[in-house]
Amino acid sequence: MTTLKRLPHVRALWATIGSSVVVAGSMLVGCSDSGPKIPVGVTVTGKVLKGGQPLKAEQAPPGEFPGEVIFLPDDPSGVRQQEPLKPDGSFREAGDGKGIKPGKYRLAVLHFIRGRGSDGLNGAFSEQNTGITVDIPGDKSGGEYALPPIELEDYKPK
């Protein structure tokens, strides 16, 4: 009868397999949900209009979006979020996929009339000048909150 003592190459093979299983198991444990937790927030939807019409990117390269909205949190621990505007003026801000933190935000709007880097609003609603504020309610965490249409002509820059 042959035993493992008589077959050192088989014993070495089993030792290698055993070590591989331990290493692989350790890697799986390390990969399991050990990263930072992203809190569940609120997905915010809305529409930006000027004179009742969505912003248009008349001179922008093909496929360029007409502008973007930027959520600037009042809370110093909050995270700045930005979202492109669709051609109909709508947006859907979902943060890191789970929504944004409830609270008060200033909302900047940029109009890329000739593509990114141009602002057809001449900075009137930039991060520094915007007078638009929104309050994202905490009771909407885990869900969606629709802002009323944002008509830029109803707001004055700072």
- Percentage of the chain modeled with pLDDT above 90: 56
The DSSP secondary-structure symbol of 52 reads: T
Identify the CA nearest to 71 among candidates 35, 38, 40, 41: 41
pLDDT of residue 28: 47
Of 73, 41, 37, which Cα lies nearest the Cα of 144? 41
User: Quick check: 139 and 113 in contact, CB under 8 A?
Assistant: no
Task: Mention every residue, 6+ apart, whose C-beta is less than 8 A from residue 89.
Answer: 47, 48, 49, 53, 54, 55, 66
CA distance 32 to 113: 45
User: Between these two residues, 18 and 40, which has the higher pLDDT value?
Assistant: 40
Indicate whether this model's pTM tops 0.85.
no
